[in-house]
């Protein structure tokens, strides 16, 4: 019964990710990865294995769900959120609470990490410091580095 609910949750999360935005898709991937990692880790190594599995699964799911430029941030957020959620959920509700906590923490961490990656990309110049001043001294003849040394003769 426990694995059928995990399968149902997995299918519903995959189905809704097709219509989701970028940050929401990363969050759903982190939640799904956290749940699956928590279940597999619990079967292999108890509560410690559950925490490790949730962290690895949340990181992997967040990275898969995020868009190209935000994979690292989403993976870090998903891994930390799923592991932390797993620990808190285990303290509150046992192994079922650990899976719920891993899903919530992995989803929130991945979405937040993906969003932080977006805001960083929008506010940075991307290494192009002088892009706006490229042709500031152009005389209109577009002659490259010779533009001040050439004279236009009619």
Series of mean pLDDT values for 10-residue runs along the chain (154 residues)? 58 50 86 93 92 94 89 93 94 90 92 79 53 55 60 62
User: Which pLDDT score, from 0 to 100, does residue 95 have?
Assistant: 86
User: Which pLDDT score, from 0 to 100, does residue 14 have?
Assistant: 54
Handedness of CA 56, 42, 32, 89 (dihedral sign): negative
Structure tokens, 111: 């979405």
Closest CA to 21 of 90, 111, 96, 98: 111
User: Which pLDDT score, from 0 to 100, does residue 18 have?
Assistant: 44
User: Which pLDDT score, from 0 to 100, does residue 16 have?
Assistant: 47
User: Which pLDDT score, from 0 to 100, does residue 12 have?
Assistant: 56
89 HSE (CA, 13 A, CB side): 26
- How far, in Å, are 64, 90, 93, 98, 145 from residue 68 at the CA level? 9, 33, 36, 30, 37
pTM score over 0.85: no
- DSSP label of 126: T
Separation of CA 117 from chain center: 8
User: Which pLDDT score, from 0 to 100, does residue 68 have?
Assistant: 86
Contacts 24+ apart (CB under 8 A), 12-16: none
Burial class of residue 55 (count of CB atoms within 10 Å of its CB; 0-12, 13-18, 19+): buried
User: Which pLDDT score, from 0 to 100, does residue 17 have?
Assistant: 47
């Amino acid at each position: 019964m426990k694995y059928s609910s995990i399968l149902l949750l997995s299918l519903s999360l995959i189905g809704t990710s097709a219509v989701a935005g970028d940050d929401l898709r990363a969050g759903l991937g982190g939640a799904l990865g956290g749940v699956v990692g928590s279940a597999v880790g619990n079967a292999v190594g108890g509560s410690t294995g559950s925490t490790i599995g949730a962290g690895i699964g949340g990181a992997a799911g967040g990275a898969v769900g995020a868009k190209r430029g935000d994979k690292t941030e989403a993976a870090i957020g998903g891994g930390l959120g799923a592991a932390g959620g797993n620990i808190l959920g285990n303290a509150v509700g046992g192994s079922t609470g650990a899976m719920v906590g891993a899903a919530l923490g992995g989803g929130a961490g991945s979405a937040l990490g993906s969003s932080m990656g977006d805001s960083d990309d929008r506010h940075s110049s991307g290494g192009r410091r002088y892009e706006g001043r490229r042709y500031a001294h152009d005389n209109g003849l577009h002659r490259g580095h010779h533009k001040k040394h050439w004279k236009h003769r009619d």
